[in-house]
Structure 1
Amino acid sequence: MNAIRRPVTVEKPGLFEKTGLLRRLVHDSNGPLTRELVLNPSAYGLPSRVDAHDADGVVKSVCGYCSTGCNLNVSMKDGQAVSLSPATRYPVNLGMACPKGWQAL
């Protein structure tokens, strides 16, 4: 019994516009989506950030949000943490942080 395969078509006009509206509603109520955070992480967070290159040094730490244990680099200046970033060469988080971790950063 061979089934005839037909291409999937969108029969409801405006479906993509509704999807865009839904995306904006989710974004406005819940914050940025994972893809947005991964592709442009510096666009979210505090309005002004100290450049990590101006730091005195970097201390390794672990994200405490969940039990995964993603590695973080904490940039320090004058004994104070000035910025956080995911460690790029750590096998657990592969240089990224989850959406919950980004919110914690």
Structure 2
Amino acid sequence: MSNLIVCDFGRFAAANKPTDGKRFLRILSKERQELAERVMVTRLHLYAKWIKKCDHAEIYREISDENLELMRERLMQTVVWPSDDSNTQKIG
């Protein structure tokens, strides 16, 4: 990770206390999607190392599901949906 990214991430973390991981990643994904994805991959990787000592498959699934939910939310925010007016037909 370059020093510039580390500095940006450090400033972001200082301004957006990472005590609530889901909220933290939601905000980060709006500002720096690629960095948020890197954090999600990193936390899953770190957990994968930890799980070798402790078999906690449920926590792994929860993190994966939360990552998927966050990415889905971000996708829904960035998709431009067609207007309902263009598909309306007159009835009667």
State the TM-score bracket (shorter-chain normalisation): under 0.3
Structure ranking higher on relative contact order (CA contacts 8 Å, 6+ apart): 2
TM-score (norm 1): 0.25
Bigger radius of gyration: 1
Please state which structure has a larger fraction of its residues in helix: 2
TM-score (norm 2): 0.27
